[in-house]
Amino acid sequence: MMPSATLSAAVLIGVAGLAGSMALIAHMRRARRVWHRLHGRRGTLRQHAQSDGSLMLRGVAALGSAVVRSGVLSAKTIGDLEQTVITSGLRSRDGIGLFIGSKLLLLVGLPVVLLLLLPGVGLSVETTRLAAACGAVMGLLLPDMMVRRSRQGYLERVDRGVSDALDMLVICAQAGLGLETAMQRVATEITLAHPEIARELDTTLTEMRITVDSYRGLTNLGVRTGLSSLKRVSSTLAQTIQFGTPLTDALRVLSAEMRQEVLTKFEARAARLPVLLTMPMILFIFPCIFIVIAGPAALQLSKAFSQ
């Protein structure tokens, strides 16, 4: 019989693991909502850290940060995790700590909860142990799946806003604004329509102002997200700084190319519609048509043979 203190501690660990994972999702959603309400400089690490006021969330982040500082993970692994967490939209200072802390709590908490609850429903010891092992694997993989899904959605939203941001950059360049001023203007004006691309431009501006080499800050715009469209934009902007090419002409050509690519993608998706509609038509539409057309004749034949 397990002592009551150990039982209570195990239940608390399981509840903390579940709460940590839910808090991670809530923090991602809250960060996007706060982005719309902030005025001035948005998306900085300080503002996202200040929005994190949950004691439970800080505890999970502290646990993950302790693991990072312990040296268990290599520097390359930590760098890859930080890049993945940042591109998922979670840009808090404690983002990597939240991610690792949630993995640890779920890895320990879910098996403990299953070991405590499943024997009460009459399952055998072997089944309980197998379920606990599956729970450990699920607890280890669940934060990865959530972050991967959030990252995919974030990159899709960024990609949708690249064309509009590029058109606005062309307008600002034609108006005589410099590169940094034009990027700042676009980041401010496009926030409501595409907050994700505005955040990326804002981060790029911050890196350009902090680092001595503006070329490196522009290059990081494409490296940070891995999107081919942003890589082309960053390389074009970097070349205008490095070689002194006209900014307006380069942006206008790139904007026309990207608009044509978007149109080509829509045409390709539209061309797939007949193929995608084949099975629904065979399964649902054609039987209805046969019933409507051949139904009355079948009823007349059945009456004629029944007489």
Residue 130 included in any domain: yes
Domain span holding position 39: 4-155
The rounded distance, in Å, linking the Cα atoms of 213 and 208 is 7
Residue 261 included in any domain: yes
The rounded distance, in Å, linking the Cα atoms of 228 and 244 is 23
My answer on whether 72 and 142 are in the same domain is: yes
The rounded distance, in Å, linking the Cα atoms of 260 and 13 is 54
| Residue that terminates a domain, selected from 155, 173, 196 | 155
The rounded distance, in Å, linking the Cα atoms of 38 and 91 is 15
Q: Note whether 174 and 168 are within 8 A (CB).
A: no
* Structure tokens, 114: 């299953």
First-to-final CA distance of the chain: 79
* Structure tokens, 44: 């900085």
Residue 193 included in any domain: yes
The rounded distance, in Å, linking the Cα atoms of 201 and 42 is 11
Residue 183 included in any domain: yes
* DSSP one-letter string for 248-276: HHHHHHHHHHHHHHHHHHHHHHHHTHHHH
Amino acid at 214: S
Domain count, the chain: 2
Per-residue pLDDT of the chain (307 residues; tens, 9 = 90+): 444 444 445 445 555 555 555 655 555 555 555 554 544 444 443 444 444 446 777 777 777 777 777 777 777 777 777 777 777 766 666 677 777 878 888 888 888 888 888 777 777 778 888 888 888 888 888 888 888 888 888 888 888 888 888 888 888 888 888 888 888 899 999 988 888 888 888 888 888 888 777 788 888 888 888 888 888 888 888 888 777 778 888 888 888 888 888 888 888 888 888 888 888 888 888 888 888 888 888 888 888 887 6
Residue keyed to tokens 């239940």: 11
What is the pLDDT, as a whole number, of residue 23?
58
Task: Please provide residue 231's backbone torsions phi and psi, each rounded to the nearest 5 degrees.
Answer: -65, -40
My answer on whether 209 and 253 are in the same domain is: yes
My answer on whether 138 and 40 are in the same domain is: yes
| Residue that terminates a domain, selected from 136, 155, 174 | 155
My answer on whether 9 and 142 are in the same domain is: yes
My answer on whether 146 and 200 are in the same domain is: no
What is the pLDDT, as a whole number, of residue 11?
47
